Every structure is written in structure tokens, then in C-alpha cells.
Amino acid sequence: MNKNLFEIWEDCLSMIRENVPAQAFSTWFEPIKPLDYQNGLLTIQVPSDFFYEFLETHYIKVIKATIRKVLGPEGKLEYSIMMDNNENKPVMVKQPSVDRTNTKNPPKQIQIDFENTEQKVLNPFALPGIKKVNIESNLNENYCMENFVVGECNRVAYEAGLAIAKNPGRTSFNPMFVFSPTGMGKTHICQAIGLETKKHHPELTVLYVNAEQFLMQFQASCRNNSSKSSRDDFVHFYQMIDVLIIDDIQFLSGKPKTQDTLFHIFNHLQQTGKQLIFTCDKPPAEIKDMEQRLISRFKWGLSAEMSMPDVETRRNILKRKAYNEGVELPDDVVNYIAEHIKTNVREMEGFLISLIAQSSLNRKAITINLAKQMVERFVNNSNREITITYIINAVCEEMGTSQADFFTKSRKRNIVQARQLSMYFSKKYTKAPLIVIGEQCGGKDHATVIHSLKTVANLLETDKQFRAIADKIEQTLQ
């Protein structure tokens, strides 16, 4: 042949690179090793049957086109795959390229060669098969403890996180379950715990993964129903982790197979003294379509709520964000933003970035007048949807009620009134049916919502103090 093996493979990669996303190319094609080329047959090595199945299912068209272009119309492709035999010894299995999108049956084995190499475990994040020390943590260095502003709204999660980082898996905070509405800093604190753990224990393997990513990885491992080894690879990989952080666990609701797999991973890590950290948009008891045995395990350790920061904490967050952006904000601007943007921390930080950009692009100083114009334009007159969750946040903040208490069965007067006001304003400002309003306001039924609406209407007419509180909440919502 005119070209050697590696030149042929480089030609293949060059064409593939032009036809797949950069991230997909890096994950699925760069790790492949060319092994042989004889009589129009190119043999490449991949680390597992899962890897082979994924390529043949998702990239068969570009692979076929590449082989025809580089090797000619009669060119063929063969995979050499690391697998296990019945004696639990690693073997090399050679399989021809077959369009996995058009067949449910795996191709027949052509040749088996025994090799004295270590068994490899599939890493869903960094294929091919890797050693534990090479697992990337997926942590964002910007989400460190130094950049986390502490207040009464998040102190429990912060203090518990510091304790976990020093002794992961050895405190009573295992698992740690952090919950809050979106934009309150859950992702920041859980990643900060991971980064802090790596400082204290660089030898440990820390992994952050969003629940949606976990779900997609599991589904990919199950696409070939006959391949139990792929699912085993998935489970074994996660059982290698010392500190496992799963963000937004609510995305696994209604996914019984994924929940079952997580249950077994949870048990293994818990029993071997590893640390588990979960975040969610609601407390464990409020998660719907989640197996009770998982919910029970979420409650084993610490459940830490994070709520909307008070005004002082919001000021500190703005100052820290401005400092990180290299901008000095006047105190009156900081105070104005903190007092007028109460939805969540993420929106407040986003507004600050917009303010800085507006100042820079128009070469204007950041003044209170500019801040007022921006608030008027982007906040007060925006078409932001008022949701039931947003209403509950506003009510709880004004009445000084924690969301953990809001969703309990407590009959304390202030908590009951917080629920009633939330139902009242949800009826007024959303199009949600009464049954949905009741479900989201603590799991109440249709009759309870109707009673709450009547009670609030009566109190607004007869109780001046109650009406003053309601007026303040309504100003926030408008």
C-alpha cells in the first residue's frame, strides 16, 4: 500500500473531524487506536463493547462515508474490543462494522485473542477505559468556597460543607441533601465542597455530575438490551468514586430503572464509607415519582435548605461579584439592586453583568440613575412569568418563614397564613388550576385552597396588619 497504517488513520480522522462536533470527536474518535490494515480491511482498537455499540449506533453514517472515501468502495472496517471471557480474563474480540441502527442482534465474533492486560472499567466521562486517578472531577474552579457568600440563608449548607471537605464520608452529613428553588446557589455550594475536598484530600476521587447527564449515560449503556456488560461498566465506574455529587436529582423523577441503578450505587458507596451529595429544587419528601427507598436514603444524613438571601447578604454577593469582575460599585447602586431584585441570586448576578456591560459599551459611569433605568427596563417592565414557586419565595421572605417550615404540616399561625397568602396570590397571578396550586403549596387539596381564598379575602378586610403584609408582597410581585 502507498500509505502506512497511521497515515490512513490520520486521513480518516481528518474527514471525521469535519463532520462531527468537536466535543464528540474528542470523546469518541481521538481515543481510538489503529491496529492493522491488510487487503482493504482497517482494524481499530476501542476500549469496550459499550464504546463499539455507541459508535455504530450514532456515527455509522460518517464512519461508512469515511471508509469509502479513504479506502475506496471495497474498504472495510473491523473493531478490536476489550471484553471479558468466562474465566474473568480480559480478551480481544474482533467485530466487523455493522449498522447498529438497523439491527437488534450483535455481529458474530470473528476472532478471540487472549492478552495479559488489566481489565478496564468504562469511564462515561473520559473514554477509553481509564485508571481511577485519571477521572476528571468536572468541577468549576470559579465555584470555590472563597467566592461563596455566607448568610443565614445558606449557613447550614456552608458549615456542613466545610466539615465534609475535611472528613468526607466520616461525618453524620452523609448523604448531604441541599434543596432550594432555582438560582439560590445549590450548584455553587456543592461544587465548592468538591473543590475543598480535593484541597484536603488530593488522593481522593471527586466527581460532579448533573442528574440529566447521569440519566443520559445510563440510557446509553442500556441501548443494547443484550449487553449486560455495558450496564455493569456504568455501575462499576460510579462505585469507584470517593465523593459523588449529583446535581438536580429531581430530573430522575419518573425514571424507575435509573433510580434502581442509583439505589445500588448509593448503597455501595454508603457502605464503603464514601461521601454522597445531592441537590434538588425541593425537600426529599416533596419529590414526586421517586422510589420511596431512595427518598428514605436521602433523609439519612443532612437536609440543608438554601433560601433567598436577605438584603445584607445580597449586598455582599453583589460586592463580591463586582470585585471578581474588576469593577467598583458605588454603595447606593449596590443597595438599590439588592433591594429591588429579589427573585434569585442568579438573576441578580445576571443583572449586574448587564449593568456593567451597559456602562462599558456606552462609556457611562455606573450610577444610581443608570441602575434605576436598567431596573425599570429589565425588571419592572419585563414579561417575566410569575410562577407559584416565585410567589412562595416572595411570601416566605416577607413573612420570615423558611420554606422547610412552609412545606411541613405545621399549624402555627404564621406558617398557615404564609400558605394561604401563597394560594391567594397564585390564584390571582397565575392561570394554574386550584388543584395544582394546592399541590405546590404543601400538597393541599382543592377544598383547602377554596377555604384559604375565602380566609385571605376576609382578613384583608378586617385585619390591618395582615393587609399591610399582603400589600408588601403584592408590590414585590407587580
Would you say residue 436 has pLDDT above 90?
Answer: no
Overall residue count recorded for the chain in this entry:
478
Quote the cell numbers at residue 43.
482494524
Q: 23-32, 53-62, 227-236: which has the minimum mean pLDDT?
A: 227-236
Nearest to 352 by CA among 364, 338, 362, 363: 338
**pLDDT-derived band of residue 2, with 50, 70 and 90 as boundaries?**
low
Could you tell me the pTM of the whole model? 0.56
Q: 19-33, 184-198, 377-391: which has the minimum mean pLDDT?
A: 377-391
171-219 confidence digits (pLDDT tens) = 999 999 999 888 889 999 999 999 999 999 999 999 999 998 898 888 8
Would you say residue 149 has pLDDT above 70?
Answer: yes
267-296 confidence digits (pLDDT tens) = 999 999 999 999 998 899 889 889 999 999
Q: What is the mean pLDDT of residues 226-240?
A: 75
Would you say residue 127 has pLDDT above 60?
Answer: no
Is the Cβ–Cβ distance between 233 and 121 less than 8 Å?
A: yes
Q: Where are the domains of the chain?
A: 5-120, 145-305, 311-380, 388-477
pLDDT of residue 95: 63
Q: Which residues contact 139 (CB under 8 A, 6 or more apart)?
A: 191, 194, 195, 198, 206, 208
What is the Cα–Cα distance from 223 to 395, expressed in whole angstroms?
Answer: 46
pLDDT of residue 84: 47
CATH number of 145-305: 3.40.50.300
Is the Cβ–Cβ distance between 93 and 51 less than 8 Å?
A: no
Would you say residue 134 has pLDDT above 80?
Answer: no
Classify residue 289 by burial, with Cβ atoms within 10 Å: 0-12, 13-18, 19+.
Answer: exposed
**pLDDT-derived band of residue 104, with 50, 70 and 90 as boundaries?**
very low
Main-chain phi, psi angles of 280, to 5 degrees: -155, 160
Q: 311-380 domain in CATH 3.90.420.10? A: no
pLDDT of residue 443: 84
pLDDT of residue 244: 97
CATH number of 5-120: 3.30.300.180
Q: What mean pLDDT, rounded, does the chain reach?
A: 82
Nearest to 80 by CA among 53, 46, 107: 46
**pLDDT-derived band of residue 361, with 50, 70 and 90 as boundaries?**
low
pLDDT of residue 98: 61
What is the Cα–Cα distance from 221 to 218, expressed in whole angstroms?
Answer: 5
- Tally of helices (H runs) and strands (E runs) in the chain: 20, 10
pLDDT of residue 224: 56
In sequence order, the β-bridge partners of residue 84 are 90
% of the chain with per-residue pLDDT over 90? 35
Fold designation for 388-477: Chromosomal Replication Initiator Protein Dnaa; Chain: A; (1.10.1750)
Would you say residue 87 has pLDDT above 50?
Answer: no
pLDDT of residue 108: 33
**pLDDT-derived band of residue 357, with 50, 70 and 90 as boundaries?**
confident
Q: What is the mean pLDDT of residues 10-38?
A: 84
pLDDT of residue 248: 93
% of the chain with per-residue pLDDT over 70? 84
| Termini Cα distance of the chain | 75
Can you list the alpha helix ranges (DSSP code H) found in 29-88? 49-58, 60-71
Residue tagged 453514517 (cell numbers): 61
pLDDT of residue 126: 45
Question: Which amino acid is it at 269?
Answer: L
Q: HSE (CB half, 13 Å, CA atoms) of 435?
A: 0
